[in-house]
Structure 1
Amino acid sequence: MMLPPGTPDLDALALLASVAELGSLGAAARRHGISQPAASMRITALERRLGLRLLDRGRTGSVLTDAGQAVVELGRPVLTAALALTDGIAGLHRAQRPGLRIVASTTIADHRIPHWLTALRKVHPEVAVVLDVANSRQVAAAVRDREAELGFVEGPHPPPGLGSRVLTADELVVVVAPGHPWASRRRPLTACELADTPLLWRERGSGTRDTVWETLEIHGTPAPPAAELGSAAAILATARSGAAPAVVSRLIVAHELRAGTLRAVPLAESNPLTRKFRAIWHRRTPPTGPAAELVELAARIEAARTQRH
């Protein structure tokens, strides 16, 4: 398609339309981010190109001529089409923007992912990350079904059939309300005592639950749950009420311990309750590009955090 000679410049046409809308060349210039003399020069150039007088310039201001009004009306569909074109091109750019879909267990999503993504944005600001949150079993299923390129889970073992990398170890602590008998006990709690006590448990599929169950099962079948709750927030709130002890990540309960709203119960063994934070991926498609960089950054950040503590 060839445009005929005399086709108006779109920027100048848009400026003329702004003069018609705002009633002032100065106001139109301000909208377009240029000086009034520059705006006047653009309109003059448009008049030369079209061979028409578009503005009557007087001491009290500039007014569109009949020809100017007609050009504005004829140009409105052109300007609307130009806006649609630029919006469409912007949409193409957004569609081509590299994206990374990840899914993480709740503890990792709430307490570790923000640090990792901040580091990733510094080296890959162009990457749009989509994060979903689920329990560890659901995260593994999403990665297995290729609903996410990368997953982050917690638990004693890597999910079967998936590639993985350990990022760090996470300490679990037994917590009770300040008024609970265990809050003032002097003798450390044994694993057998913990196994015999009804606890507040997460739902099946939770990495915390799997870790605690596997540890306590060595000492006998754990007692029936005092309650099964679907979130860490619900676990903490119920523990604060004094209903029963809970075993949670120190990351989750750190604020409560500092505030004194929950108390940590010392264990007889040295750190018997720990779990691993892992990055996981489909074995046929190991992470590359930004996904691989996110795993590497997460490992470095966690190693540095461990050294500080």
Structure 2
Amino acid sequence: MSTTSSAGSAGASGTSSGAPLAHRVPDLGALELLLAVARLGSLGRAAKELGITQPAASSRVRSMERQLGVALVDRSPRGSRLTDAGALVTDWARRIVEAAEAFDAGAQALRDRRDSRLRVAASMTIAEYLLPGWLIALRSQRPDTAVSLTAGNSTAVAERLLAGDADLGFVEGLTVPTGLDSAVIAHDSLIVVTAPGHAWARRGKPLGAGELAATPLILREEGSGTRQVLDTALGGLARPLIELSSTTAVKASAVSGAGPAVLSELAVGEELSARRLVGIPLEGVELRRALRAVWPTGHRPTGPARDLLSLTRAGVE
């Protein structure tokens, strides 16, 4: 009865003693050396094949013998011969090494599948004005990775990440959405712009924060990082003149003369240079924000997502 109980206990723990398995089983490198000795009949040739010195190979064999408590190799001027125990251990070692090779091949297949695609979700300004350059740089590093990009506001980016529909995200808001970790990858300023014919383009003094807050503006939709920054900085906004779902649409409306807008400086450089838009000086408030890469909490980016994150952080101001 006691024998049965003992065997059941050993089966439950997976070993016949309380010692951790790793302390009683030689590592893969040592087992590969033993297999090479068996195949080549020489410790020196086995060491050469594995790229180690003969003294290092001898030390590794002695360490295995001490660990297992049996002699494995007989050494003589004519070469190295496995003992009877060594031949038996070699058979076991071959199965362990083959299993490890199968494990490694399976893990590599998982990495290849992960590395074959990258799903990115980004808020509009980053998607339109920063990501194209980063993705071109990533393409040179990982030409076989297929990249898909979904653009939306910061709230939508967070939702895609938390649903498992994106591997890496980029947002522009003041705060990091719940459930996500982040890293600052750039900084950006918002500026007030109007068409050249607007009255603000001819004013002789800076625009006050209170006047801006009280003026109906062409705005992004609620949930966008740009609107969140502006609303927080001004302590509230007037009812929108027009509400649009993309930076490009807001900019086109401002250029048409529909009204003033507040946009990222990244988005309006060309229009300001060509005088299709005019920047309006603002006093009493600073509209500066951090641009962030985001990912689900506790799941640091790996593979192509990690490489893209490295490319973006190289340009942190």
Q: How far is the alpha carbon of 1:297 from its aligned partner?
A: 1.0
Match of 2:242 in 1: 227
C-alpha deviations, 1:234-271, integer Å up to 9, x for none?
Answer: 2122212322210001111111111111100011247x
- Please give the root-mean-square deviation of Cα atoms over the aligned residues, in Å: 1.7
Which of the numbers 236, 242, 254 marks the counterpart of 1:239?
A: 254
TM-score (normalised: structure 1): 0.63
Once the two structures are superposed, the pairs formed by residues 1-309 of structure 1 within 5 Å of their partners are 98-217=116-235, 221-269=236-284, 272-300=286-314, 302-303=315-316, 306=317
* 2:234 maps to amino acid: L
* 2:265 maps to amino acid: R
Q: How far is the alpha carbon of 1:157 from its aligned partner?
A: 1.3
* 1:275 maps to amino acid: R
Q: Quick one: distance in 2 between partners of 1:207 and 1:147?
A: 20
- The sequence identity of aligned pairs, in percent, is 47
* 1:245 maps to amino acid: P
**1:248 partner SS:** strand
TM-score (normalised: structure 2): 0.62
* 1:233 maps to amino acid: T
Query: Residues 96 and 281 (structure 1 numbering): CA distance in 2 closer, same or farther, change over 3 Å?
Result: closer
Query: Residues 178 and 282 (structure 1 numbering): CA distance in 2 closer, same or farther, change over 3 Å?
Result: same
Q: Quick one: distance in 1 between partners of 2:222 and 2:114?
A: 39
Q: Which has the higher mean CA deviation after the structures are superposed, 136-145 or 154-163?
A: 154-163
Gapped runs of 5+ residues in structure 2? Answer: 1-111
Q: How many pairs are equivalent?
A: 206
* 2:309 maps to amino acid: V
Q: Quick one: distance in 1 between partners of 2:240 and 2:227?
A: 11
Q: Quick one: distance in 1 between partners of 2:166 and 2:272?
A: 35
- Answer whether contact 2:195 2:257 (CA < 8 A) is retained: yes
Q: How far is the alpha carbon of 1:100 from its aligned partner?
A: 1.1
Q: Quick one: distance in 2 between partners of 1:150 and 1:137?
A: 14
Q: How far is the alpha carbon of 1:97 from its aligned partner?
A: 6.1
